[in-house]
């Protein structure tokens, strides 16, 4: 949340648009007519990772938003 599309790697196959269970992605069109995916609803990502798993170009990753970042602390020292 939100998913990030690496524009250098993206081939415009739209797999992420197709598979996202939360409908986060949409299609956009470049002036010359080529279509490419965009993240329309970043707040609605569920972190299921389906887009990351399925992207054939490895172009999608997920940035986890700050309210979810308080995940870990130091483990106690051993001995």
| Site of interaction with another protein (CB under 8 A) | 1, 18-23, 26, 40-41, 43-50, 52-54, 61-62, 64-65, 67-76, 78
65 touches 4 (CB < 8 A): no
User: How far apart are CB 60 and another protein at their closest, in Å?
Assistant: 11
Number of residues in the chain = 79
Q: CB of 29: closest distance to another protein in angstroms?
A: 14
Q: Quote the CA–CA distance of 68 and 53 in Å, as a whole number.
A: 21
Task: Compute the least distance from the CB of residue 7 to another protein, in Å.
Answer: 20
Which one, of 74, 78, 5, lies nearest residue 39 by Cα? Answer: 5
Q: Which two three-digit tokens encode residue 4?
A: 């990030």
Nearer to another protein, 7 or 48 (CB): 48
């Amino acid at each position: 949340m939100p998913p990030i599309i690496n524009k250098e790697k993206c081939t415009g196959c739209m797999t992420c648009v197709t598979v996202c269970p939360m409908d986060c992605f949409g299609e956009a069109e470049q002036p010359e007519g080529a279509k490419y995916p965009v993240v329309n609803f970043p707040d609605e990502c569920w972190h299921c990772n389906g887009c990351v798993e399925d992207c054939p170009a490895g172009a999608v990753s997920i940035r986890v938003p700050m309210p979810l970042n308080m995940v870990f602390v130091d483990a106690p020292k051993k001995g």
